[in-house]
Amino acid sequence: MLNQPVAFSILNDELESRRIDVSAVIEMLKKQHIETPSWGYANSGTRFKAFAWPGAATTTRQKLDDAAMVHKMVGIAPTVAIHIPWDQPEDGDYEAMCQYAEAQGVRIGAVNPNIFQDDEYRLGSFGNPDAAIQQRALDHVWECCEIMPKVKSDVLSLWFADGTNYAGQDSLVGRKRRFEKNLKAVYEHLPTGSRMLIEYKFFEPAFYSTDIPDWGTSYAWSLKLGPQAQVLVDLGHHAQGVNIEQIVAFLMDEGKLGGFHFNNRKYADDDLIVGSVNPYELFLIYNELTGAALGSAEPAHSSAPNIAFMIDQCHNVEGKIAPMIYSVLNCQEAYAKSLIVPRQQLAEVQAEGNILEAHRLLTQAYRTDVEALLQQVRQEMGIPLEPIVAYEASGYEEKIRSERGLAATSGGFQ
């Protein structure tokens, strides 16, 4: 097995022969930013059962500690998304929570309201036929808007479980109009300089109709609302065979791609480690993002520079922290491979209509082993060359198991 300097030297020569600026690639990889979710460090999982994991976080501070450990191992996960009220401080002091995160070496990222777990939301939140319950949901989202400046967040992430179970249960047009009214009320309450990201899911948990069933709905509403509203793409929220990278390219070119919830799904659920089922799809998504960022797409309206890259996974049977590290590394690998696509050559053969050569150039980048490149990046950043190995050797897992024990539930899941 080649040592790291030799392996990197060989890869460097190969990439330079493809006219890739390796030093520029390294600098871009150093700037990569993946946000991890607070709820991913707690006992959470499928809607059927959350299996308890020894050492899983039960408080927000413990979640921040775990997120800080992930960032220490990978160097590119400096922010943590929070979920309200799951992460509501016992003393209500959000500024102190923000200061605690920063003291651990991380920052608070997106704020996620919870308007889907309470019994009152049985018939929905913003789409509920009861005006009082709509107002309750709106009050909570407004509360999250007020929390955002306290934790230095500029992203409000919105997901709704709203829908109907039976035909005739409610007016579909009525539910659409209720959503538009309430989303407008949220938009008008956003802190200056912040964004609201509207997530969609093509089915579930509603059995007959889902109020935000696709990216087109989120896109249409974000257009009506204004420039501070954008679409949030969750990789698991699509039907089988849907071309997610095409959706990404369209939204990005329209300036309406606000962010991602990275995960993976084989069938319906979406809590698998990102890149674990279809790593080629993850690469193709990053290829569109990188192509736009580097100017191969028309840049006039592109939202590529301002996309929030967030993981949304609830590891149920495979642990908490190590899977999160693995998730970040999969995103890092996909990004690295997208950065070594020879953009100029690809554009030239695409313009010529040379289908096979265009495909070959793209798949050549995907099939390239970039581990030596990533280790070079980590070495220059002063983080472990092999993050998973380093975490397992750190003793942190044993420490939190001993200190925290086994909690039946945590993180808001039951």
Enumerate the domain spans of the chain.
Answer: 31-341
pLDDT digits (tens, 9 = 90+) for 184-203: 999 999 999 999 999 999 98
Bridge partners, residue 81, by sequence: 37
Contact 404, 36 (CB under 8 A): no
- Put simply, whether the predicted model's pTM sits higher than 0.85 gets the answer yes
Q: Does residue 300 register a pLDDT over 80?
A: no
Distances (CA, A) of 44 to 41, 166, 274, 408, 412: 8, 29, 17, 10, 8
Task: Identify the CATH homologous superfamily for domain 31-341.
Answer: Divalent-metal-dependent TIM barrel enzymes (3.20.20.150)
State whether the Cα torsion 56-62-64-65 is positive or negative: negative
pLDDT digits (tens, 9 = 90+) for 85-141: 999 998 999 999 999 999 999 999 999 999 999 999 999 999 999 999 999 999 999
pLDDT at 102: 98
Contact 295, 370 (CB under 8 A): no
At which residue do the structure tokens 């080649």 appear? 2
State whether the Cα torsion 274-331-60-392 is positive or negative: positive
pLDDT at 62: 97
Lowest mean pLDDT among 21-25, 208-212, 408-412: 408-412
Quote the percentage of the chain above a pLDDT of 90.
86
The pLDDT confidence band at residue 302, using thresholds 50, 70 and 90, is low
pLDDT at 297: 47
Other CB atoms within a 10 A radius of the CB of residue 125 amount to 26
What token pair was written down for 320?
């908490």
Contact 128, 134 (CB under 8 A): yes
SS3 of the chain: CCCHHHHHHHHHHHHHHCCCCHHHHHHHHHCCCCEEEHHHHECCCCCCCCCCCCCCECCHHHHHHHHHHHHHHHCCCCEEEEEECCCCCCCCCHHHHHHHHHHCCCEEEEEEECCCCCHHHHHCCCCCCCHHHHHHHHHHHHHHHHHHHHHCCCEEEECCCCEECCCCCCCHHHHHHHHHHHHHHHHCCCCCCCEEEEECCCCCCCCCEECCCCHHHHHHHHHHHCCCEEEEEECCCCCCCCCHHHHHHHHHHCCCEEEEEECECCCCCCCECCCCCCHHHHHHHHHHHHHHHCCCCCCCCCCHHHCEEEECCCCCCCCCHHHHHHHHHHHHHHHHHHHCCCHHHHHHHHHHCCHHHHHHHHHHHHHCCCHHHHHHHHHHHCCCCCHHHHHHHHCHHHHHHHHHCCCCCCCCCC
Bridge partners, residue 388, by sequence: none
Lowest mean pLDDT among 220-229, 314-323, 372-381: 314-323
Q: Under 8 Å CB-to-CB from 172, ≥6 apart: which residues? A: 164, 209
pLDDT digits (tens, 9 = 90+) for 42-66: 987 666 677 889 999 999 999 999 9
The CA dihedral of 114, 63, 106, 389, to the nearest 10 degrees, is -130
At which residue do the structure tokens 């920052």 appear? 107
Q: How far apart are CA 315 and CA 272, in angstroms?
A: 7
